[in-house]
Amino acid sequence: MSGDPFARAEPLTLMAEPRAEGEPEMATREGVPARLADGGRRGTVAAANTAASALTHGRPSSATPPAVTLEGVRVSFGDHVAVRNVTLAIPARQVTALIGPSGCGKTTLLRAVNRLHDHTAGHVDGSIKLGDIDVYGPDTRPELIRRRIGMVFQRPNPFPAMSVFENVVSGLRFNGVHGRALLRDAAESALRHAALWDTVKDRLHQPAVRLSGGQQQRLCIARALAVEPDVLLMDEPCSALDPIATAKIEDLITRLAADVTIVLVTHNMFQAARVSDQAAVFLLGEDRVGELVESGATDELFNEPKNPRTRDYVAGRVG
Amino acid sequence: MSVALAPSRRDLVRAAAQRSLTRRRITGRIAQALCAVGAVASVAPLVALLYYTISRGAKVLSWGFLVNAPTPPGIPGGGISTAIVGSAEIVGLALIIAIPIALLAALFLFERSGRLAVALRFSADVLTGVPSIIIGIFAYALLVLPLHAFSDLAAAFALAVLMLPIMIRADEEAMRTIALDLWEAGIALGARRGRVARSVVLRGALPDLVTGNLLAIARAVGETAPLLFTLATPAAAMTLLIYTDGTQAFPIAQETAWGTALVLLAFVLLLSVAAKIAAWRISRRAR
Amino acid sequence: MSSDSTGVLPREGVAVSGVRAALLRKRTRFGEHAYTAFRWGGAGLFAAVVVALLLSIAGSSSQAITHSGVGFLWSGTWNPAAGEYGAGILVVGTLLTTAVAMVIVVPIGLGTAAFLSELAPGWLAGPLSTLIGLLAAVPSIVVGLWGLIVLTPIFANQVEPFLASMPLLGWLFRGEAYGPSILLASVVLAVMTLPTMVALSRTALAAVPVADREAALALGATRWQAVRKAVIPAARSGIQAAITLAVGRALGESIAVAMVIGNRPALPTSLTAPGATLGSAIVNQFAEASPGLGTSSVIALGAVLLLLTVAVNAGGQALLRSGGGHRVGTAGALR
């Protein structure tokens, strides 16, 4: 893959955990730090893997176990259940779209994956796993989980007091990465990856809020990519943008999927059809609680939906 | 496809994140603990103030203390009735001056935008920050010097000037938050402005107006510096009495100061709590 | 309003009813004019008060300025007996007490605001802010009395000797421990400005969107890192405004300072030495001032103080307005 800035060799001296050449990439990608690991595999993984095999189409990833596995997940706020009964395997390095009308718990579910509900009144039941790691395990540190599961929000939210450069490297600094040359290189490659480098390379030290909305959102993507996440959660990232900026972000999403697992929340079915490999449809149940209705390869889901409710939704009869 | 994200940097970031986590968490814990200590330190003065004022003031507090006039130094049984009445008179007079002017000026600001309103609003905000002692000097220069007489009127004028900017801004804020939609609806229906002001704005904003004005009164009751320049005798107001008696070395005088401080504090806190409750009820009704 | 009973107006005819309507309209229009006049009157009276305040302070201090010249601002001697008047030492004392008060109040106030807005659970944050709000309602004279009678002996016997014995910083507090001192005045000022500092910084922190916090958390930041690196910088202009307005209040406080500072108009040699500020000097000198030049000189001290506080407060208000369009009046901060 020539021209990919991320393929540039790093000086070996910078490597904190040198590993032998030729070691399979998987080991790093899914490798589990000792302190993060939960006691052992539980039975749920097998079930999730079955679900995953049903999902794996499109890109050659049949050998890849799911990046994120959700098993019977339910998110509630006090007595109010926002979304329930979600069992879903999200394949690695593909785009998985969570679609459905607004108010059916897509965003709530997304925020459960990187434990953002820790800071709200939300309560998460069921099991969410990142590779083998139980995201809500007793020994799991939310900070480390969130470093590996990045997030892009609905509205562009660059840190207003920081410059473009400071925004991009902010995550690295949070995570204890310092060193001027290292931060510079990381910023450049993250910005290139977010297709923003050529636009901002001459104004890296200007306030980030001076960028346009679409540029700000790509900056937020670069900021999320800079900490080298395995998974990128995107919560309707284009909803605040104009059509041209939206097209750019969509283009970016499909290209990023080569490196990062992407979970995209959208209420725009056309967007889901354009960019996603897999899709999961969320609808409101009879008691006004959001639930997962059907999931599968995007093509199949849109062309031959199995569930009648999905069929109605896709045909535009509900939502 | 080759290794997509440069693995070395990925490893580096992961290692750094893990390595620094303990330090980051401990730093966070310490910082959070320091913030909590700060919060305790912020509440401590209030607790100490209340404790001393109540424990020392309660010793002298009695019915006689409230209703008797002060006695000459050395003669027991004196009270602070003149100071209580004096404070009430001065503040009452100040309210008669300040409330209508503030309401009308606030209506002016409410209905007008543009440079004049901006300038007026800005001067109100800046005047709020002008030290009360300066306002005392102003009243002295304007009313005491030319007339060659200290007077309740001069003191009331000073307190009115002190309250005016606070009241104007609070009144305007009250009108804006409660009544802007109603005002527009009234004007859209073709009602006259004066009528809308009376029947919609003032009535709608009334609870908020009460809250804002109560707070301004609480502040005026506790002021000392303006009275220093406008009143002839210390027994004419509670705050002045605390100042003159508190700075004397005699224990009896200090006791009177604590007793007066307790009465004053109770009154001021009561006003503040009343304002808080009013504000709380408003916000609950709005929900 | 019923004109029917007057009998003056005939009751039929199209033209006649037009007259009636015109009369009625005139009457309403009169009410409308009256309302406008009253509003303008209220605004005009307030404007007149502001102008009169500036003019009378300037006018009353003109005699002193004519006598002492512009040197009044920095001349270091205040000796009414010799007819020498200067505000220099008092300006220094005012700035020094305010600065020391801010050294105390800024970290504590900011930490408290961060605790209330970011860290404390809701059931604790609410009552705590109410209590700190109540502190704002305590009259300055009561704080002064507490400082004078309760804190003075504690400072003389414990705090000041302890501070003087500290390594490295001890020299700041050397000299005899009297009790009444610049330090004690600063502590009293800190207590009095704390509620302003806490309320305004808390408002500024709370105005930072949740999205900024979550952006930091989602990158792997700890909760404190999110507060320190994302929330506090985003609230910077509001926090600056809080500090500026606290400074404005500290500069202008007179009565409580006069009770605890020791009132010695001399250049301070140590923070534990007695001193004097513009406000405390006005309180102490006013009664003794000789009519004419003496009084005018005391009022001139007030003019200097007015200039100082208006400059600081205007700056603070400008900062408040620049802070993302979030409007907070000073009165609102005291609620």
Among B124, B131, B141, the residue with its CB nearest the CB of C56 is B141
Q: What is the mean pLDDT of chain C?
A: 85
Of C246, C253, C259, residue with least CA distance to C151: C259
Residue B235 CA to its chain's centroid (Å): 24
Bridge partners (DSSP) listed for residue A297: A278
Task: Report yes or no on C1 lying in a domain.
Answer: no
Tokens of A189: 């490659």
pLDDT at residue C20, as a whole number: 54
Is A197 strand, coil or helix? helix
Q: Are residues C106 and C54 in the same domain?
A: no
Asked whether the beta carbons of A106 and A290 are under 8 A apart, the reply is: yes
Chain A residues whose beta carbon lies within 8 Å of the beta carbon of residue C204: none
Single-letter residue type at B134 = I
pLDDT at residue C52, as a whole number: 94
Q: Residue C204: is its pLDDT beyond 70?
A: yes
pTM of the model: 0.83
Q: How far is CA C128 from CA B94, B166, C122, C123, C195, in A?
A: 33, 24, 10, 9, 11
pLDDT at residue C68, as a whole number: 84
pLDDT at residue C26, as a whole number: 55
HSE toward the beta carbon, residue C25, CA cutoff 13 A? 6
Phi/psi at A284 (5° precision): -80, 130
Q: How far is CA C27 from CA B218, C24, C262, in A?
A: 41, 5, 65
Q: How far is CA C330 from CA B155, B272, C311, in A?
A: 24, 16, 16
Pairwise CA distance, residues C177 & C153, whole Å: 10
Q: Are residues C251 and C300 in the same domain?
A: yes
The answer to ipTM > 0.95 is: no
Contacts of A250-256 spanning 24+ positions with Cβ under 8 A: A250/A274, A250/A275, A251/A195, A252/A194, A252/A195, A252/A218, A252/A221, A253/A95, A254/A95, A256/A193, A256/A221, A256/A225, A256/A232
Q: Are residues C60 and C98 in the same domain?
A: no
| Contact call for C134 and B224, based on CB within 8 A | no
- Using pLDDT thresholds of 50, 70 and 90, give the confidence band for residue B162: very high
Give the DSSP letter of residue A34: T
| Contact call for C219 and A155, based on CB within 8 A | no
Q: Are residues C274 and C306 in the same domain?
A: yes
Task: Report yes or no on C46 lying in a domain.
Answer: yes
What is the DSSP secondary-structure string of B58-97?
A: HHH--HHHHHSPP--TT-S----HHHHHHHHHHHHHHHHH
Residue with tokens 């424990």: B55
Q: Are residues C130 and C175 in the same domain?
A: yes
Of C203, C201, C227, residue with least CA distance to C215: C227
Phi/psi at A95 (5° precision): -100, 120
Fold (topology level) of B65-286: MetI-like fold (1.10.3720)
Q: Are residues C51 and C79 in the same domain?
A: no
Pairwise CA distance, residues C36 & C42, whole Å: 10
Among A146, A160, A161, the residue with its CB nearest the CB of C218 is A146
Q: Residue C73: is its pLDDT beyond 50?
A: yes
B neighbours by CB contacts (3+ pairs under 8 Å): A, C
pLDDT tens figures, C258-310? 999 998 888 888 899 999 999 999 999 888 888 888 899 999 999 999 999 99
Exposure letters C246-255 (e unless 16+ CB within 10 A, then b): bbbbbbbbbb
Q: How far is CA A262 from CA A91, A128, B60, B110, C139, in A?
A: 9, 16, 74, 51, 60
Which residues of C, range 290-329, sit inside 8 Å of B by Cβ?
A: 299, 302, 305-306, 309-310, 312-314, 316-317, 329
Residue with tokens 């400059």: C311
Q: Are residues C46 and C86 in the same domain?
A: no
Give the DSSP letter of residue A10: P
- Between CA B13 and CA B19, with CA B18 as vertex, the angle to 5 degrees is 95
Chain C residues whose beta carbon lies within 8 Å of the beta carbon of residue B27: 222, 224
Tokens of B251: 């224990």
Asked whether the beta carbons of C329 and B122 are under 8 A apart, the reply is: no
| Contact call for C313 and B170, based on CB within 8 A | no
Residue C63 CA to its chain's centroid (Å): 28
Pairwise CA distance, residues C178 & C189, whole Å: 19
Residue of C nearest to A149 (CA): C218
Interface test mutation site (partner C, options B13, B14, B35, max chain C beta carbons within 10 A): B35
Which residues of B, range 168-207, sit inside 8 Å of C by Cβ?
A: 168-170, 173, 192-195, 197
Sheet harboring A66-77: ordered strands across? A133-134, A122-130, A66-77, A80-91, A290-297, A278-284, A95-99, A261-266, A231-235, A149-152
Pairwise CA distance, residues B103 & B233, whole Å: 33
Question: Total domain count for chain C?
Answer: 2
Of C269, C100, C109, residue with least CA distance to C176: C269
**High-pLDDT (> 70) share of chain B, %:** 86
Q: Are residues C139 and C64 in the same domain?
A: no
C119 interfacial to chain A (CB closer than 8 Å): no
Q: Residue A61: is its pLDDT beyond 50?
A: no
| Contact call for B131 and C254, based on CB within 8 A | yes
pLDDT at residue A264, as a whole number: 96
HSE toward the beta carbon, residue B15, CA cutoff 13 A? 14
C217 interfacial to chain A (CB closer than 8 Å): yes
| Contact call for C43 and B109, based on CB within 8 A | yes
Bridge partners (DSSP) listed for residue B90: none
Burial class (CB in 10 A: 0-12, 13-18, 19+), C124: middle
Burial class (CB in 10 A: 0-12, 13-18, 19+), B72: exposed
Pairwise CA distance, residues A147 & B13, whole Å: 9
Task: Report yes or no on C110 lying in a domain.
Answer: yes
Q: Residue A286: is its pLDDT beyond 50?
A: yes
Strands (E), chain A: 66-77, 80-91, 95-99, 122-130, 133-134, 149-152, 231-235, 261-266, 278-284, 290-297
Exposure letters B220-259 (e unless 16+ CB within 10 A, then b): bbbbbbbbbbbbeebbbbbbbbbbebbbeeeeeebbbbbb
pLDDT tens figures, A89-113? 999 999 999 999 888 899 999 999 9
Chain C residues whose beta carbon lies within 8 Å of the beta carbon of residue B105: 39, 42-43, 45-46
Task: Report yes or no on C10 lying in a domain.
Answer: no
Tokens of C11: 């009751």
Q: Are residues C110 and C63 in the same domain?
A: no
Among C59, C120, C331, the residue with its CB nearest the CB of B170 is C331
Chain C residues whose beta carbon lies within 8 Å of the beta carbon of residue A173: 229
A178 interfacial to chain C (CB closer than 8 Å): no
What is the DSSP secondary-structure string of C262-289?
A: ----S--SSTTS----HHHHHHHHHTTP
pLDDT at residue B198, as a whole number: 66
**High-pLDDT (> 90) share of chain B, %:** 49
Q: Are residues C144 and C262 in the same domain?
A: yes
Q: Are residues C175 and C236 in the same domain?
A: yes
pLDDT at residue C25, as a whole number: 57
Of the residues C68, C84, C100, the one at which a domain ends? C68
Chain C residues whose beta carbon lies within 8 Å of the beta carbon of residue A114: 218
Which residues of A, range 184-203, sit inside 8 Å of B by Cβ?
A: 185-186, 189
Q: Residue B268: is its pLDDT beyond 80?
A: yes
* Structural domain boundaries in chain B: 2-47, 65-286
Query: How many residues are given for chain C?
Result: 335
The residue range of the domain holding C269 is 71-334
Pairwise CA distance, residues A278 & A261, whole Å: 11
CATH code of C180's domain? 1.10.3720.10
Exposure letters B76-86 (e unless 16+ CB within 10 A, then b): eebbbbbbbeb
**High-pLDDT (> 90) share of chain C, %:** 54
Chain A residues whose beta carbon lies within 8 Å of the beta carbon of residue C213: 119
- Number of cross-chain residue pairs from A and B with Cβ atoms under 8 Å apart: 90
Closest approach of chain C CAs to the CA of B132, in angstroms?
A: 8
Q: Are residues C83 and C148 in the same domain?
A: yes
Closest approach of chain A CAs to the CA of C215, in angstroms?
A: 7
| Contact call for B16 and A33, based on CB within 8 A | no
Residue C214 CB partners (closer than 8 Å, separation 6+): A116, A119, A151, A153, A157
pLDDT at residue C231, as a whole number: 95
**CB neighbours of residue A316 within 10 Å:** 8
Residue of C nearest to B219 (CA): C137
Sign of torsion over alpha carbons B221, B268, C98, C314: negative
| Contact call for C219 and A114, based on CB within 8 A | no
- Number of cross-chain residue pairs from B and C with Cβ atoms under 8 Å apart: 292
Pairing mode, if any, of strands A95-99 and A133-134? Answer: unpaired
pLDDT at residue B173, as a whole number: 87
Q: Residue A272: is its pLDDT beyond 70?
A: yes
| Contact call for A10 and B16, based on CB within 8 A | no
pLDDT at residue C19, as a whole number: 53
Closest approach of chain C CAs to the CA of A151, in angstroms?
A: 6
Task: Report yes or no on C13 lying in a domain.
Answer: no
- Asked which of A236-250, B112-126, C9-23, C165-179 is least confident by mean pLDDT, the reply is C9-23
Residue of A nearest to B17 (CA): A175
| Contact call for B8 and A35, based on CB within 8 A | no
